[in-house]
């Protein structure tokens, strides 16, 4: 009888531990700043739930924020936290004003993040950063981050597809349809390449080309949607 109780105790412990480990990932929006910050507005998703998975996801998000705020190579200084990168951005502006006191354009940075899609296999997050460091206009960049939902590992674009070449051909068709009546606005419209940013939403896949990636600043961002029904045989996930 004692042996049976011992076995049951082990089973219950294992089940309990498994349930704890498989706690689904959720997200909350967090705002980060510092006491000396006057220039940076930051609203980003923070993963909570499975500790190892959420830690991996949050690390990747933080690294993107740190990279986005890293201007002028920051004189070799490499911030390790988001808060350090915020203070460094403010310090860089103070240094700039010391050297160019007549500059009337204040620096600013705004970074926002949204969870575009989440399933048992993949989590897709959009990060939008706008920085103005005194130029003729600010710089808007949208970045997609795709994660393995089970591990929190940041996925490369190639990891998303069973047949990357087949998907490239499919994407090329959609791209050509999108720019058919404005090909003259693009740098090399007949030399197709996939964008750096490929993400998921509830309707399918988004291909996003940032400003200057395939067209001049005046053309803005190029965004192409491919519906799920055209993708099922191409994906490694979903």
User: What mean pLDDT do residues 172-193 have?
Assistant: 93
Strand partners, 110: 41, 130
List phi, psi (to 5°) of 66: -60, -45
- In a 10 Å sphere around its CB, with 0-12 CB exposed, 13-18 middle and 19+ buried, how is residue 125 labelled? buried
Distance between CA atoms of 142 and 130, rounded to whole angstroms?
A: 9
Residue 7 is predicted with a pLDDT of 46
- Single out the residue of 33, 31, 130 nearest to residue 87, CA to CA: 33
pTM to 2 decimal places: 0.86
The 10s digit of each residue's pLDDT in 192-227 is 999 999 999 999 999 999 999 999 988 899 999 999
The 10s digit of each residue's pLDDT in 123-178 is 999 999 999 998 778 899 999 999 999 999 999 999 999 989 989 999 999 999 99
Strand partners, 113: 127
Per-residue burial over 226-238, b if 16 or more Cβ lie within 10 Å, else e, is beeeebeebbebe
Domains, the chain, with CATH or none: 25-151 (3.30.565.40), 156-238 (3.90.640.20)
């Amino acid at each position: 009888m004692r042996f049976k109780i011992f076995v049951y105790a082990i089973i219950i412990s294992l089940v309990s531990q498994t349930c704890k480990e498989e706690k689904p990932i959720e997200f909350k929006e967090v705002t980060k700043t510092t006491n000396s910050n006057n220039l940076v507005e930051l609203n980003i998703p923070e993963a909570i739930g499975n500790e190892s998975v959420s830690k991996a996801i949050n690390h990747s998000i933080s690294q993107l924020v740190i990279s986005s705020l890293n201007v002028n190579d920051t004189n070799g200084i490499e911030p390790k936290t988001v808060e350090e990168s915020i203070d460094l951005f403010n310090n860089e502006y103070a240094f700039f004003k010391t050297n160019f006191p007549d500059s009337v354009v204040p620096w600013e940075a705004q970074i926002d993040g949204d969870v575009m899609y989440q399933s048992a296999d993949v989590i897709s997050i959009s990060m939008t950063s706008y920085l103005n460091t005194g130029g003729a206009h600010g710089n808007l960049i949208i970045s997609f981050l795709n994660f393995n939902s089970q591990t929190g590992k940041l996925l490369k674009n190639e990891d998303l597809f069973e047949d990357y070449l087949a998907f490239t051909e499919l994407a090329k068709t959609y791209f050509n349809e999108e720019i058919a009546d404005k090909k003259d606005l693009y740098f090399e419209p007949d030399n197709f390449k996939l964008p750096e940013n490929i993400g998921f939403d509830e309707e399918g896949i988004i291909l996003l080309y940032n400003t200057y990636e395939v067209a001049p600043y005046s053309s803005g961002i190029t965004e192409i949607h491919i519906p799920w029904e055209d993708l099922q045989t191409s994906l490694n996930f979903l």
